[in-house]
Structure 1
């Protein structure tokens, strides 16, 4: 008598990494709106330093409560690289860029970053570079060019804003690719906390500006700055690192292409800012580029 083996149980999908990525996307979208608001009272460097101080304090308290120690020696190169590029340079340049362009446009241009992450990941981390990714790169950069053209009629300052956002995208990509190897050696919390601390140290030259501007800034701007440090920085960067440790840099970067759409909605509701039609078209091209890069060729079935 033969018995039919019971069918294998379907593998349980781990929902924690996608949930962490979703938290990151929502909070980073809100950051573009908060930066636009707080940037009316704080200069780019002062706002970055204030945000990082709030983030470092929050993460420091969490690390003390959890009795976290120092990162391992092998994690430090990635911590320093991501701290200087992503927590430091990215935040200063993005704050500057958002003084020139609206929040939705900034989010669309900065989100060229995921394509750069995929390219750097392929080159430096051995994650592969399929042809669809190359096609997506071309489409996304075309979208960024359209955004730049749509802003050029508003004066040189707006063009400067687009260029600054592109520089922010490059710093963001470099930071992510620096951080990914470090996550093999230490926890997402420690790498985020010490990366934030490195970025804070890099922004200390803006201390004088922060002190003088905080004395005159309205309470709402200061609260926005604190919000940026606690939620889009301390929380969202930690959930990002948690999810990044469980996937490739290219795949994780692509999840942030939901940010521009959320930013446009938030900036419309909270700031009464709606990008021009050509700007939206350029942003959609950026999104289309990632859709092309993320589509997998169908496999023949036998």
Structure 2
């Protein structure tokens, strides 16, 4: 299987699992505080990833990769998850979706500035279409319009944390494997969230089993598995194209909410979801002669550990 096809499959698995996190976060968030939910999710993910890393004997990431791993671990695994959990408790789901979806745009701008990623017209056009779809989905899901300023700021912080984390992770993947980068990034995120350990113990003792199972699900699948498939795909394309792929998440959330939560979407919501998917298709399309004038470099094999 070619790197392009395997990367596309990995990216598809990522967005499906991240969309499924919407249901789990909604359920667990009613019984777990934002920091406790993030820490519980990261601890579960770190345990699963640590076992796989030990079984595969991949060794420690090379020194050159640690800077990117630490930055992405703190900002994406740590700050992003806490800020998003907290922000979604302050604003309705529609407002949160609108604000957080500036993240892929920030990824494109930052990767162009710091990684030298090209911004071809197809990518920009696709992101514009997808963002318009995300705006439509957000407005259709919005509540009374009484969005908390604090909640909006927290969602902006989440988007910035996500964007900076992705851009920091990309160079690390040139030196270390996807499993190494994800395992240690998740572990660093968990360490950054340790101040919430007391609240996690408190919440676990009082939360129903269903909420705790949702936390474990979030740790195993949308975190351990999805972040690994994300890193695998990111190593095989540009950060801006991978960021654009996440615009498929709002459309999948609409579908899953319809199927699992009996939340029947309106025509505007369905249209917005269709726009999101159409934009992703355009953003990830490529010309016959060249992908983006500069093909993505294949990942460098991790240094052999002594």
Q: Judge which range, 23-32 or 99-108, deviates more.
A: 99-108
Q: Count residues in correspondence.
A: 289
CA deviation after TM superposition for structure 1 residue 76, in Å: 0.3
Cα distance in 1 for partners of 2:281, 2:99 equals 16
Question: Which residue is 1:89 aligned to?
Answer: 79
Cα distance in 1 for partners of 2:148, 2:159 equals 17
Cα distance in 2 for partners of 1:57, 1:123 equals 35
Question: Which residue is 2:304 aligned to?
Answer: none
Question: Which residue is 2:227 aligned to?
Answer: 237
Output aligned runs, 1:29-68, within 5 Å.
29-68=19-58
Cα distance in 2 for partners of 1:62, 1:226 equals 17
8 A Cα contact 2:103 2:160, kept in partner: yes
CA deviation after TM superposition for structure 1 residue 168, in Å: 1.7
Change (3 A) 1:230 1:138: closer
Task: Answer with 1 or 2: which has the greater Rg.
Answer: 1
Structure 1 residues not aligned, in runs of 5+: 1-10
Calculate the TM-score normalised by the size of structure 2. 0.81
Which residue of 165, 175, 178 corresponds with 1:175? 165
CA deviation after TM superposition for structure 1 residue 267, in Å: 2.0
Which residue of 252, 259, 263 corresponds with 2:242? 252
Which residue of 206, 210, 216 corresponds with 1:220? 210
Structure 2 residues not aligned, in runs of 5+: 290-306
Q: Judge which range, 119-128 or 140-149, deviates more.
A: 140-149
Change (3 A) 1:280 1:113: farther
Cα distance in 1 for partners of 2:288, 2:225 equals 37
8 A Cα contact 1:103 1:267, kept in partner: no
Question: Which residue is 1:8 aligned to?
Answer: none
8 A Cα contact 1:31 1:232, kept in partner: yes
Q: Deviations over 1:235-275 (max 9, x none)?
A: 11001111111111111122222111111121233334467
Calculate the TM-score normalised by the size of structure 1. 0.82
Change (3 A) 1:25 1:292: closer
Question: Which residue is 1:3 aligned to?
Answer: none
Question: Which residue is 2:185 aligned to?
Answer: 195
Are 1:122 and 2:112 matched, yes or no?
yes
Cα distance in 2 for partners of 1:271, 1:101 equals 20
Cα distance in 1 for partners of 2:185, 2:53 equals 13
